[in-house]
Amino acid sequence: MRVLFITRKFPPSVGGMETYSHELFEALREISSDVDIHKPCYPIHGRPSLARLTTFFLGASWTLIRNRGVYGAVLIGDFAIAGLALVAKIASSGKTRVVVSLHGNDLYFLKRRSIKARIYRLVARAVIKSNTIDAGLANSHAIKRTADSIGIRGVRVVALGTSVPHPFPRSPIRNAILFAGRLIKYKGLSWFVQEVWPNMDPAMELLVAGTVWDRQEYDCIKSRSRIHYLGSLPRDQLSALRSQVMACIMPNLPPEAQEQDEGFGLSALEGPAVGTPTVATRCGGLVDAIADGITGFLLPPLDPGEWVRCLNEISGWSDAKRDDFASKAREYVVEHYNWKWVAEQTLRVLNGNDSPHTETADAPHPDKLVD
């Protein structure tokens, strides 16, 4: 069966969905050569404009119409372009199986009160009621619960993967922690700087890498001593940086009614992949992304004391303890969070060979089943 993967997020653009699209496509092609991709012919950085989304949607629609009858299954990269399910079904007279990947903001945007969000909700309801989506791929149980609540049927949980460098880098550990991700409120950087950072070791540094989406988040770190903003870094530089710090942090805020949560948190895997623990808030998809005590540590939301305690404890690790953690974390990531596994589970769903009652289609490790 030939498969078409349609994604609006792809390198050289930088982000979790871009990484997902690139790594999944490469892993799918290693398993089967019968997988094609439709992606942007130009990079889309930051929030895409309506004009660019429309242009991409029309181009993808034409690909589906022009190749009607060619593809037995279509994987749509995120729910924001789920309207392509209608096009795929019409073009194939209902014969093509349509699966949609579900991430985070593509669903959480439905909660907002803006005019764009209201229009998005109307389109989303129309797509869901059309029954043209045969299955959904949620990257965490938090996303599955959200998808179920809005009526998307046949949703399976397939956690994301990461690439583990070979050979394993052994970099000197500096007295620094790293925040890598978009500077946006729900990721909690400003909360961390205001509530936790003043109580940390005055010799410690905070490195911040990512694109500014919320100016207030950037203003909070600007001109503060021992905090260094590095901008958006390429993946290889970020990987090297993660191997040099004592911990990576994801101090996400618990969502309020109209706010976004962390769909999965791909960055949570990238620290342990080079032997560095990720310290994160216990919320959203981070519960699926981190094996507590093995690849990192999950802390209660909005608890500065626990953050100070945990980071100070990691700072005091002996070389032997740090090496032991690095070895076990990396081994766990290799076994449970690899792109080959993600591609295999994705193909099962695309082929219709999965079952709602099959645990292995839901998570790489049974202890992650939190529903």
Structure-token pair, residue 21: 């699209």
Edge-to-edge strand ranges of the sheet holding 227-231: 227-231, 205-209, 174-180, 245-250, 278-281, 296-299
**CATH 3.40.50.2000 domain span(s) along the chain:** 3-161+338-368, 174-334
Say whether pLDDT at 76 is over 90.
Answer: yes
Tokens found for residue 141: 């149980």
Residue 193 has what pLDDT? Answer: 96
Q: Quick one: which of 290, 248, 274, 269 has its CA closest to 326?
A: 274
44 CB-near residues (< 8 Å, 6+ apart): 8, 9, 13, 52, 56
Average pLDDT (310-320) is: 94
Alpha-carbon distance of 356 to 371, in angstroms, equals 14
Q: Taking 70 as the threshold, does the pLDDT of residue 312 lie above it? A: yes
Mean pLDDT of 224-236: 91
Mean pLDDT taken over the chain = 89
What is the C-alpha separation between 258 and 121, in angstroms, rounded?
A: 14
pLDDT band at 371 (very low <50, low <70, confident <90, very high): very low
Residue 256 has pLDDT above 80, yes or no: no
Q: Measure the CA–CA gap between 189 and 196, rounded to whole angstroms.
A: 10
As a whole number, mean pLDDT of residues 99-120 equals: 88
> What's the pLDDT band for 44 if we cut at 50, 70, 90?
low
pTM value surpassing 0.75: yes
Q: In the prediction, which pLDDT does 355 show?
A: 55
- The reported pLDDT for the residue numbered 108 is 87
Q: How is domain 3-161+338-368 classified at the CATH fold level?
A: Rossmann fold (3.40.50)
- Phi, psi (5° rounding) for residue 355? -135, 140
> For the ranges 16-20, 60-64, 366-370, which has the lowest average pLDDT?
366-370
CATH topology (fold) of 174-334 = Rossmann fold (3.40.50)
pLDDT value, residue 14: 73
Region 38-43: mean pLDDT is 84
